[in-house]
Amino acid sequence: MTAVDVAAPRTTRPVPAGPDRQGPRRRRAGRVPFWLAVPSLGGLAVLLVYPTIYLIGLAFTTSSLARPLQRWSGFDNFVEANRSLAFNGSLVRSVIFALAGALLQLALGVGLAVLLRARGPRLGVAGTLLLLPLVTPPVMVGVAWKLMLAPVGGSFTGVWEALGVPGFNPLGSGPGAFATLLAIDAWQWTPFVTLLVFAALLGVDRELIEAAQLDGAGAWRSFRSVVWPAILPTVLAVALIKVVLGFKVFDLIVVVTEGGPGVATILSPYEIYRTGLRGQYDMGTAAAETLVFALVVGVVTAAITAARHRAVRDQ
Amino acid sequence: MSVMPLSRRQLLRAAGLAGGFTLLAPALASCGGGGDTEALAADAAAEPKGVTLRLMVNQPHVTAFTKILADRWAAETGGKIEVTAVPYDQLTSKQILDVQGGAGEFDVFDYFYFGLGALVDAGALVDLTDWIGGQSDLDAGDFLPSIYDPYTLYEGRRYGLPYDGDLHILFYNKEIFDRHGLRPPATWDEYDAAAKKITQEGGGAYYGAIVQGQQVPMILGCSFINRLAGYGGTLVDGSGAPTLTSDAAVAAAEHLIAVSPHALPTPLQIGFDQANTAFLSGQGAMIDTWTDMSLRADDPSVSKIAGKWGVVSLPVGGTNTTPRTALDAGFGLGVSSASRHKPEAAAFVKWATAAQQNLSQASTAGAGIDPNRRSVLHSAEYAKATPTAAQVIRQNLDGSPLVWPKAPSAPKILQDLVDQLALAVQGQQDARTALRRAQESWERELSR
């Protein structure tokens, strides 16, 4: 490499007459002085670099809540995480929850958005109703659902009796509790998907759809060949957001199932909380679990991001 | 020899790393050395007047502090208390974090005794040994022997005073028992049989037993340890080694599993509040729970079973024929090492655990406080407040209840135990497997 590589590119703009105030170190077009970035770099260091280094420090040391960073422990915390009752399973459950939840909500959300778009370009009262679950705090959502599903005195008690399964308790079995959490999460977040996809549908050129229909395409074919390719980048972007939100689910678990029954609904964020702050106070292992979980989240979200890039490029 | 040019990007990376380590260094220095405890002098003088003490307390105790103690403390000393209630499953961690995190907002901690080792290890509690020795009016000899040392003594030093003498006894709904022609159970086998019969004949209107199975030591741990005590078992032996694979422990876990299908659905979802509500509303025929239930059960404003309940000691099992309970939960009051008013905080601890205050709290429904002193336990006033249960409570608190471990690792090993038990109750493993796995965890942790 030579000095040529780092020299300022030639500009086609006319150089103003008179003395050059910037002297020989003329700035490149579009660049700002380095010192202007210092506050943001400082913020980045405080908010990102320091916690990350501290997290790594915890993961490789014997660290309790009371005494963090006691001594170097190599990979002992990762071994402990691997040996723990719930962590490995929690990774699997987190991936399933995030992906299944996103797929379920995308299917419902896209369907609802298409139906609403068929009514017209305005949401009206439906928009307000859709916002209600979104603006309800997750803790309130969890409490409400837990009360409704209570096996004794819950508002679903009569429903189960009418369906011929008196005393049914969906939170009483592992698969039931996991499915219930998925359903509650879908109840809260499907409107979010619906609103974003509806906005994308508004951007689809109606003339293209009409042209397709003139060419004999039915409703399904018009959707598949015209509408879907147009909204796919948005749908994948929403999928990415939903997967990330699904990985982060914590408050619902705390309120509705507390990870039970057994370990059936212990997802990774809840397991990390349990290890670090509830009962065990093992911050070293909790940090190791956090790093492993971050790796898993990174792999899954990278795959979705790649799929979205491909979709955008193909378009 | 060529010199590599240093780009701005490389410079930024280096500066970022250097900055990060610079920031980390003080944290390493300050955090790694925690855990030292300080002692309060025997002659530390307190001037409570005008001082506001901040208390972190167990959520179910909030009424005792705000409705009973706060006004009296203000009237007697001119001091003030501010109370912050914390859910029971977060109490110990919040107390450690308050000190270790540097916030130091609190002066007095209402602490779980099985978290004592963890709190001392964190340097969160002031050593009160010398100070207690200097308090001639403390009357330490009046504290119940069954709870004084377990609640306050750790490695030969005393870090608090007993506040809430918690243990479990068995409450039953007389009306339901009479309806089904049953007598209160004396053994865990009789308990299981009664639970099954009542649930089957109750047709879903009520259940034979309320089993508290929320997956935290204070709830599911109690349910297991009650049965373990009844079978004459222990958690650790005389040398401190775990004994979770003993025959008594296996029998206790098997009983816990066996009764679950006949208990209020679903045991693993049932915590303290749900259990109390269910029993007081007549939805369950039996509940092993804390003694202050006797005050609530006779309070018509919260109870539909006032005058229709009875109480006995916890059942026994196996070769054990002597009823024995366990020190389930149980609280002491200690002084936070981060307090800026340590003498005043210690004075409050002494005052709040005195006989007069304890009697007021232990006689008030909803306060959630049980006797901590012999003079209170055997007083006519306490017997008058809880006429049905006083005799049973006396027998058990005067006895030799099973004590939970309180080493620094106690919160972790107890959580490991209830995690394994929860899987067994759920049907994913048998009792022996659950206890073997818990035993391995305990051996690993306690040998560190």
pLDDT tens profile A112-138: 999 999 888 888 888 788 888 888 888
Q: Is residue B426 included in any domain, yes or no?
A: yes
The tokens describing B193, both together, are: 């049989």
CA neighbours closer than 13 Å in the CB half-sphere of residue B360? 15
Q: Is the pLDDT of residue B396 over 50?
A: yes
CA distance B37 to A67: 13
Which H/E stretch holds residue B289? Answer: strand B286-290
Number of domains in chain B: 2
The tokens describing B36, both together, are: 């030292």
Give residue B196's pLDDT.
Answer: 97
Quote the minimal CA–CA distance from A284 to chain B in Å.
Answer: 13
Which H/E stretch holds residue A72? Answer: strand A71-72
Among A153-162, A229-238, B25-34, B435-444, the minimum mean pLDDT is found in: B25-34
Comparing CA positions, the residue from B370, B303, B363, B332 lying closest to residue B108 is B332
Q: Is residue B95 included in any domain, yes or no?
A: yes
Query: What CATH number labels A84-314?
Result: 1.10.3720.10
Q: Is residue B322 included in any domain, yes or no?
A: yes
Give residue B33's pLDDT.
Answer: 42
Q: Which domain holds residue B205?
A: 168-326+409-446
Among A149-153, A301-305, B403-407, the minimum mean pLDDT is found in: A149-153
Give residue A29's pLDDT.
Answer: 59
**Pair B133, B160 in one domain:** yes
Q: Is residue B10 included in any domain, yes or no?
A: no
ipTM: 0.75
**Pair B268, B137 in one domain:** no
Give residue A30's pLDDT.
Answer: 63
Q: Which of residues 63-102 of B touch A (CB under 8 A)?
A: 89-90, 92-93, 96-97, 100
Comparing CA positions, the residue from B147, B111, B86, B343 lying closest to residue B351 is B343
Give residue B52's pLDDT.
Answer: 97
Interface size, chain A vs chain B, as Cβ–Cβ contacts under 8 Å: 134
Question: Can you name the residues that pair with A61 across neighbouring β-strands?
Answer: A72
Tell me A9's DSSP state: P
Instruction: Nearest chain A residue to B422 by CA: give it.
Output: A262
**Pair B341, B282 in one domain:** no
Q: Is residue B96 included in any domain, yes or no?
A: yes
Residues of chain B contacting residue A172, judged by C-beta atoms under 8 Å apart = 265-266, 268-269
Tell me A254's DSSP state: I
Q: Is the pLDDT of residue A241 over 60?
A: yes
**Pair B203, B180 in one domain:** yes
Contact at CB, B20 and A66, closer than 8 angstroms: no
Give residue A27's pLDDT.
Answer: 53
The tokens describing B389, both together, are: 């249960």
Q: Is residue B20 included in any domain, yes or no?
A: no
Q: Is residue B340 included in any domain, yes or no?
A: yes
Q: Which of residues 12-31 of B touch A (CB under 8 A)?
A: 12, 16, 19-21, 23-24, 27-28, 31
Q: Is the pLDDT of residue B28 over 50?
A: no
Q: Quick check: bond before B92 cis, omega within 30?
A: no
Contact at CB, B32 and A280, closer than 8 angstroms: no
Contact at CB, A279 and B422, closer than 8 angstroms: no
Q: Which string of b and e fits B304-342 if b means at least 16 CB within 10 Å? A: ebeebbebbbbbbbbebeebbbbbbbbbbbbbbbbbebb
Residue type, B321: T
Q: Which of residues 420-439 of B touch A (CB under 8 A)?
A: 420, 422-423, 425-426, 428, 437
**Residue B355, burial from CB neighbour count under 10 angstroms (0-12, 13-18, 19+):** middle
Per-chain mean pLDDT for chain A:
86
Quote the minimal CA–CA distance from A208 to chain B in Å.
Answer: 48
Quote the minimal CA–CA distance from B169 to chain A in Å.
Answer: 24
